[in-house]
Amino acid sequence: MHIPESLQDLADSEAVQFLKRPKTITRIFAGVFSLIVFSSLLTDGYQNKTDNSQLHCVLNSNSAACSFAVGAGLLSFLSSLAFLALDAHEVRLSSTRFKTAFQLLDLILAVIWAGIWAVGFCFLANQWHRSPPRYFLLGSNSAKAAITFSFFSILIWIFQAYLAFQELRNDAPVPYKRSLDEGGVVLTSLSPPSAASPVNMPTTGPHGPSYASSSLSPYLSTPMAPRLAMMPDN
């Protein structure tokens, strides 16, 4: 294992360069936001009412709201960790096809998670708005934190989808680029000549040389019959 000898070597190391990438920072923030959402509701999301000791969800006593937030937050957190680990080994991928498939999967999942968190934010905010005030002893701060970071998760996953789209567009497969270049060459070679070119512009007027040569071509191309010459006798 290489140990950096100075701060400059530490700044130029692969680990620091990996952590400074925008995609890595975005994944870390997405994982932290998801962790806050499901941990806040998992710990203080179920409270008892003021009149009994039975536990209920602080979001309008709707257990589906708490279950949705806990499940989505946990899966989103695990997804961020998994893609973060795959990003660390992305530079070692030699197969261009596998790398393109990975980037496409990253884009699709980022769009899906952005949609899930958008639905989750609207659902949690609606249930919290319908919750009667001071209905539970505790848990209001946990519900507010879950709703707030659900909204932040929408933004961070949209930005993650944008980064994945940029990488997918910039790292197109080499055969695809070559086929586009070859197609451009073929289209250029088969394109009609420019109208401003004086060499390829034919003259079709009645006084032009092309018109005269075309009108005289039948007479010039007709073979002449041989003539018989009378030789005088000596």
List, for residues 111-134, the tens digit of each pLDDT value. Answer: 999 999 999 999 999 998 888 776
**pLDDT at residue 33 in the model:** 96
Is 46 in a helix, a strand, or coil? strand
Closest to 144 (Cα-Cα) out of 160, 162, 164, 124: 124
Per the domain annotation, does 118 fall within a domain?
Answer: yes
Per the domain annotation, does 205 fall within a domain?
Answer: no
Question: pLDDT band at 161, cuts 50/70/90?
Answer: very high
Task: Give the end-to-end CA distance of the chain in Å, rounded to a whole number.
Answer: 118
Average pLDDT value over all residues in the chain: 75
**pLDDT at residue 172 in the model:** 56
Per the domain annotation, does 227 fall within a domain?
Answer: no
Per the domain annotation, does 229 fall within a domain?
Answer: no
Per the domain annotation, does 35 fall within a domain?
Answer: yes
Number of domains in the chain: 1
Single pTM value for the model: 0.65
Question: pLDDT band at 98, cuts 50/70/90?
Answer: confident
Is 57 in a helix, a strand, or coil? strand
Amino acid at 224: M
Per the domain annotation, does 93 fall within a domain?
Answer: yes
Per the domain annotation, does 187 fall within a domain?
Answer: no
Per the structure, the complete domain to which residue 58 belongs is given by 27-175
Question: pLDDT band at 16, cuts 50/70/90?
Answer: confident
Per the domain annotation, does 41 fall within a domain?
Answer: yes
Calculate the alpha carbon distances from 176 to 69, 165, 168 in Å.
42, 17, 13
Higher pLDDT, 137 or 159: 159
Burial of 140 (0-12, 13-18, 19+ CB in 10 A): middle
